[in-house]
């Protein structure tokens, strides 16, 4: 037997007992021949005292110990001497006096110190992820993730959901991001795709009569990496027949509340707040607003409609808007304010005007000479400007002005390191958005039901979808929608997207065929497990809550993947590399 108790369970009540414990030597301190070892296992850490003068046979082993040696120790639990207790440690009232110490395995010198207070390059951490995961911070993150997933399972099982697995190798279908493709050896020149989501298969389960489905699903998207994106990720995916938006929202709220309670000890106050997409853009310049602070966008178009400041007046006359935010007291040096102007231009604005509220209530600004006193008063009142406040104004078309100010709002208002949680439903998204080529593309995916079929036909550019996102602290946690269950409506959406019946049949024929066999109305949702846990753990990057993530460039330093394969493997798949690909392999043989 390697152990009869976990070290995290040792407290004052355990004093006087003899225990067998096992774990890693997190720290070793030699004080005059007496060694103090902080032994760590999955439950926590306890101080072990190795005193050769009390147990002579421990002399050699005490001298040989190094950090991260794996040990088995039999010893007596006793209260620490008065004044030596560690109140910051759950086991800090006791220590274990070793009778025997067995080295189960040794450890080489560590590539980095497993101490949360020491910064280590992420590349090195990921290369030795199995060591990184021993750190207290990473261990807490893994445990939080496990508790959250368990709470999700328990909630949905109790609600009568059926857990169903869907395929990992599927047909490539356009869902927004690039597919991760897998070549077929048996059908050379043909490819599987890894699922971006189980979207079509979960809809097929509704056709199949599965009333309530869920899955903790692995998903794959070949898109550019960011702090909240990876090529592979995990999401909760669920769907229900004879469901509408209200049922989905209530279910997800219950699930998320239980997950929050499992990680943080207290659930959410339900129901959660809701806001339409149009209102979110208008007030906060984002479809995922962070509501932990104010700084709402105000519209000043009326103020400038007849202004002598032609740069803004002409924009309003041309159908544009003048929008503004008050970022509060801020550095008001010219260089700092000019930096904000450059930031606005990076975000797509043609320019930005700053204003500073002075002691006497007047406004200091490069454009103040073009404004009448009544206009400046109106600006200050509309933005509740007070002494020292910095006001930022952008004139442009509504969407761009709102977007720029929404980003500047986050730059100057988003709190760092706060544990507060601000959940919000954003509803009534548009069915379509304008693509880079000027055409229409699905705002969510092409299987999202419109609020009105008539609206879809008459004005597809402004048609509203039965779609909804869950947002927390300015992070899109997940999205869902009521699905199209009428094949005729589905074809109308394809027609608007420029997908002819022949192309639709080639891409989705197997799915469209299923819709003809009595498909029930259905709706669903999916949210990122990684994103949820990263927010709950106050981690700015989802890589910190994923066991084995890739780097920002998609490389895995642990296994050195992606990596080349042999020519024989490529030949079996009927694949031949282009010359430029071979040159890239020679230049970067290990990623």
> For position 175, what pLDDT does the model report?
58
In a domain, 398, yes or no: yes
Same domain, 267 and 145: yes
CB 243 within 8 A of CB 522: yes
> For position 506, what pLDDT does the model report?
87
In a domain, 551, yes or no: no
Query: What are 233-253's pLDDT values in tens digits?
Result: 999 999 999 999 999 999 999
> For position 225, what pLDDT does the model report?
66
Query: What are 95-124's pLDDT values in tens digits?
Result: 999 999 999 999 999 999 999 989 999 999
> For position 33, what pLDDT does the model report?
84
Same domain, 204 and 85: no
Phi then psi for residue 130, to 5 deg, are -65, -25
Q: What is the DSSP secondary-structure string of 261-272?
A: HHHHS----SSP
Same domain, 393 and 468: no
Last residue of a domain, one of 353, 388, 413: 413
CB 590 within 8 A of CB 560: yes
Last residue of a domain, one of 382, 413, 444: 413
Task: pLDDT band for 546, please (50, 70, 90 cuts).
Answer: very high
In a domain, 181, yes or no: yes
Residues 533, 142: Cα–Cα separation, whole Å: 9
Domain CATH for 189: 3.30.930.10
Query: What are 293-351's pLDDT values in tens digits?
Result: 999 999 999 999 989 999 999 999 999 999 999 999 988 888 999 999 999 999 999 98
Average pLDDT across the chain, whole number: 93
Query: What are 357-378's pLDDT values in tens digits?
Result: 998 888 999 999 999 999 999 9
Residues 569, 388: Cα–Cα separation, whole Å: 67
Same domain, 266 and 302: no
Average pLDDT over residues 203-224: 94
Statement: residue 586 has pLDDT above 70: no
Prediction pTM value: 0.91
- The SS3 assignment for 305 reads coil
Query: What are 260-284's pLDDT values in tens digits?
Result: 999 999 999 999 999 999 999 999 9
Same domain, 445 and 536: yes
> For position 437, what pLDDT does the model report?
83
Cross-strand partners of 96: 48, 77
Same domain, 407 and 427: no
Average pLDDT over residues 490-502: 91
Among 55-64, 409-418, 475-484, the range scoring the smallest mean pLDDT is 409-418
Tokens of residue 201, six digits? 């298969």
Tokens of residue 43, six digits? 């439950």
Same domain, 199 and 99: no
In a domain, 221, yes or no: yes
Q: How far does CA 436 lie from the centroid of its chain?
A: 26
> For position 575, what pLDDT does the model report?
93
In a domain, 454, yes or no: yes
> For position 554, what pLDDT does the model report?
87
Statement: residue 497 has pLDDT above 80: yes
Last residue of a domain, one of 89, 105, 121: 105
In a domain, 132, yes or no: no
Task: pLDDT band for 291, please (50, 70, 90 cuts).
Answer: very high
- The SS3 assignment for 589 reads coil
Statement: residue 415 has pLDDT above 80: yes
Task: pLDDT band for 134, please (50, 70, 90 cuts).
Answer: very high
Statement: residue 417 has pLDDT above 80: no
In a domain, 117, yes or no: no
Domain CATH for 348: 3.30.1360.30
Residues 347, 411: Cα–Cα separation, whole Å: 12
Domain CATH for 40: 2.40.50.140
Statement: residue 591 has pLDDT above 80: no
Per the structure, the count of domains in the chain is 4
Same domain, 406 and 441: no
In a domain, 121, yes or no: no
Same domain, 150 and 272: yes
Q: Which domain holds residue 380?
A: 294-413
Among 73-77, 235-239, 373-377, 506-510, the range scoring the smallest mean pLDDT is 506-510
> For position 580, what pLDDT does the model report?
80
Task: pLDDT band for 174, please (50, 70, 90 cuts).
Answer: low
Same domain, 541 and 582: no
Q: What percent of the chain has pLDDT over 90?
A: 85
Same domain, 406 and 429: no
Helix (H) or strand (E) holding 394: strand 389-396
**Could you tell me whether strands 18-31 and 34-41 are parallel, antiparallel, or unpaired per DSSP bridges?**
antiparallel
Same domain, 527 and 469: yes
């Amino acid at each position: 037997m390697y152990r009869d108790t976990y070290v995290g369970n040792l407290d004052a009540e355990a004093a006087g007992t003899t225990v067998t414990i096992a774990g890693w030597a997190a720290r070793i301190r030699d004080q005059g021949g007496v060694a103090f070892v902080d032994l760590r296992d999955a439950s926590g850490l306890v101080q072990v005292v190795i005193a050769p003068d009390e147990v002579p046979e421990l002399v050699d082993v005490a001298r040989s110990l190094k950090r991260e040696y794996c040990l088995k120790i039999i010893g007596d639990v006793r209260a620490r001497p008065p004044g030596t207790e560690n109140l910051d440690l759950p086991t800090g009232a006791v220590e274990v006096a070793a009778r025997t110490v067995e080295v189960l395995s040794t450890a080489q010198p560590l590539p980095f110190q497993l101490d949360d207070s020491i910064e280590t390059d992420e590349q090195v951490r990921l290369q030795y992820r199995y060591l990184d995961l021993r750190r207290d911070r990473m261990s807490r993150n893994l445990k939080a993730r496990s508790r959250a997933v368990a709470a999700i399972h328990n909630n949905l099982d109790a609600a009568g959901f059926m857990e169903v697995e869907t395929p990992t190798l599927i047909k490539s279908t356009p869902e927004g991001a690039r597919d991760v493709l897998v070549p077929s050896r048996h059908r050379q020149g043909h490819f599987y795709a890894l699922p971006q989501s189980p979207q079509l298969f979960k809809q097929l389960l509704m056709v199949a009569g599965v009333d309530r489905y869920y899955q903790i699903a692995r998903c794959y998207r070949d898109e550019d990496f960011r702090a909240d994106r990876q090529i592979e990720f995990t999401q909760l995916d669920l769907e229900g027949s004879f469901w509408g938006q209200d049922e989905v929202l209530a279910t997800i709220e219950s699930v998320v509340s239980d997950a929050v309670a499992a990680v943080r000890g207290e659930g959410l106050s339900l129901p959660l707040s809701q806001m339409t997409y149009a209102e979110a853009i208008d007030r906060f310049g984002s479809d995922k607003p962070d509501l932990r602070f104010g700084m709402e966008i105000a519209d000043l178009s009326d103020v400038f409609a007849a202004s002598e400041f032609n740069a803004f007046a002409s924009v309003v006359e041309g159908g544009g808007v003048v929008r503004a935010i008050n970022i509060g007291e801020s550095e008001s040096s010219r260089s700092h304010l000019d930096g904000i102007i450059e930031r606005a231009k990076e975000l797509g604005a043609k320019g930005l005007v700053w204003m500073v509220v002075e002691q006497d209530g007047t406004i200091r600004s490069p454009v103040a000479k073009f404004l009448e006193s009544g206009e400046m008063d109106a600006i200050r009142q509309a933005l509740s400007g007070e002494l020292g406040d910095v006001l930022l104004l952008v004139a442009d078309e509504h969407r761009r002005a709102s977007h720029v100010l929404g980003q500047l709002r986050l730059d100057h208002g988003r709190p760092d390191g706060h544990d507060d949680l601000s959940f919000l439903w954003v509803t009534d998204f548009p069915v379509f958005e304008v693509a880079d080529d000027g055409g229409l593309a699905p705002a969510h995916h092409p299987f999202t039901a419109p609020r009105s079929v008539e609206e879809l036909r008459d004005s597809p550019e402004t048609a509203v979808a039965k779609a909804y996102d869950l947002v927390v602290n300015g992070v899109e946690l997940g999205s869902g929608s009521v699905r199209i269950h009428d094949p005729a409506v589905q074809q109308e959406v394809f027609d608007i997207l420029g997908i002819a019946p022949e192309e639709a049949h080639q891409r989705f024929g197997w799915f469209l065929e299923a819709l003809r066999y009595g498909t029930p109305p259905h709706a669903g949702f999916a949210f990122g497990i990684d994103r949820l846990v990263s927010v709950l753990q106050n981690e700015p990057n989802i890589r910190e809550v994923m066991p084995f993530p890739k780097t920002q460039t998609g490389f895995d330093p642990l296994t050195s993947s992606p990596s080349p394969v042999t020519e024989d493997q490529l030949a079996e798949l009927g694949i031949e590399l282009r010359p430029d690909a071979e040159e890239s392999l020679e230049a970067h043989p290990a990623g």
